[in-house]
Chain A
Amino acid sequence: MARITVTVDGVAYQEEVEPRLLLVHLLRDRIGKTGTPIGCDTGNCGACTIMLDGRSAKSCSVLAVQADGAEVLTVEGLAGPDGWHPMQRAFHEEHALQCGYCTPGMIMAAIDLLKDDPDPSEDAVRAGLEGNLCRCTGYSNIVRAVRGGARAMRDAGAVGDR
């Protein structure tokens, strides 16, 4: 067993973990952050995307021990005192989901993309989300939502802010 310290959505946790424990299992089974789903066995689908020290990562492809000392942000940590994060609101408004399983990962990947490109073109959105699979929507509404969310974040001066 290994003792790790990890900050998740602003709260510090100390955990005794088996080295083989995946970060996504730490988040879901230990800390209760079930907003981050597990979608595949291969690292392809991106449903479990979170921010690890400020950049997107697939939490099924990181060991919990590798995240020792790190800061994790999940979809559950996005909303602020004024309600949903602008990207969450944009996904709602544009109906950018059907079953919703891929949505947490899509939102995290979208916010990560905006850190480098606050006003992404449609092509840039599609390239930025290449690691996130949606099997329902055909992506059009997702792309619209990301661009809408980006606009809202620029208007709010929130681009680049976590």
Chain B
Amino acid sequence: MIPPAFDYVRPSSLPEALAALAEAGEDAKVLCGGQSLLPLLRLRLAYPSVLVDVGRLPELHGVREEGGHVRIGAATTHDEVLRSPVVRAGCPLLPLATATVADPAVRHRGTLGGSLAHADPAGDLPAVAVALDMEFVVASAAGERAVPAGEFFVDYLETALRPAEILVAVRVPRLGDGWGFHYEKFHLTAQAWAVVGVAAAVRPGGAGGDRRVEEARVGLTNMGPTPVRAGGVERAVRGAPLPGAGAGGSPGGAGDGVRDAAALADEGTSPPGDLHATPEYRRHLARVLTRRALLAAAA
């Protein structure tokens, strides 16, 4: 219950934080809301020499529209994401997934940047990041660089962040008009991690009895050591007929094309086995949940 001893610094600006992190060396950890890090410390699964608290840095706060994307400060809490009209209008998939993260008390403290930098493949937000092609704004003493979501998640709990770098913000590209969104999460109890989750964005076209998928984005939670972009599904689902209003995805009707595409969801994945699910069961869940997520996003 009692964390190992560490030093603690709370810089008042980003340059100070970067200097503190560089000076502290590679055993330092960045602390923001602490909702992932503190449980690890209490269980003594991490032994940082220094915690650099970035939670109050003004440079890491704020949500704003910037050209074709929404820029969200890394220290924005899940609760702030849920309440932000700019986020809800510009990238509705993010609040849909964020609403399923843990519970209200954790969402008051936990941050978007912290969740992404923690890079737990069972976390809900990394899948959204890859589905939406978020761009990660990363700062070091040498300046800023941008890392695409597809390159940010390197391995289990491992990212492209270097020891003296801090995630400052993410830029979420706006998808334009006509997209629908859904996050489908399968978990065993209310606040539990996803056994599997599917983040879907769908742009339907046509009308009435001839509705079809024009374009789709799919990200998978907990189907491997990193979040997975289901490119095979995205390609296969183009042009798939959608059920008309109220028709549902009944067998033999419209929606079969979506089911066939969703059957590719586990292709190329390497899901973990644990006490909640075998790898094979996770593959099954990925196929079923992807179909549900696509149809719900298109509805």
Taking Cβ atoms with an 8 Å cutoff, the residues of A that contact B are: 2, 18-20, 22, 25, 38, 41-44, 46, 49, 52, 55-58, 60-63, 65-66, 68, 109, 112-113, 126-128, 130-132
Contact = CB atoms under 8 A, between A and B. Distances in A.
A52 B105 CA distance: 10
Contacts of A63: 8, 31, 34, 38
Contacts of A65: 8, 10, 53
Given A20-B2, A55-B79, A46 B105 contact: yes
Contacts of A52: 108-109
Interface in B60-108: 79, 102-106, 108
Contacts of A55: 79, 108
B41 to A, nearest CB: 7
Contacts of B35: 43, 61
Contacts of A38: 1
10 cross-chain pairs, A with B, having the tightest CB-CB distances, nearest first? A131-B103, A19-B8, A130-B190, A56-B105, A20-B3, A55-B108, A61-B38, A130-B103, A43-B39, A131-B105
Contact of A57 (B7, B43, B105): B105
A74 to B, nearest CB: 14
Contacts, number: 90
Category for how many chain B residues contact A: 20 to 34
A53 to B, nearest CB: 9
A58 B10 CA distance: 21
B51 interface: yes
B105 A66 contact: no
A20 B109 contact: no
Interface in B19-71: 31, 34-35, 38-39, 41-43, 51, 53, 55
A46 B7 contact: no
B193 to A, nearest CB: 11
Given A19-B51, A63-B8, A65-B10, A57 B109 contact: yes
B3 A22 contact: yes
Query: Which of B42, B104, B105, B106: most chain A CB closer than 10 A?
Result: B105
Given A41-B1, A65-B10, A109 B39 contact: no
Interface string B176-190: 000000000000001
B34 A66 contact: yes
A59 to B, nearest CB: 10
Given A41-B43, A55-B79, A66-B53, A61 B106 contact: yes
Nearest to B105: A56
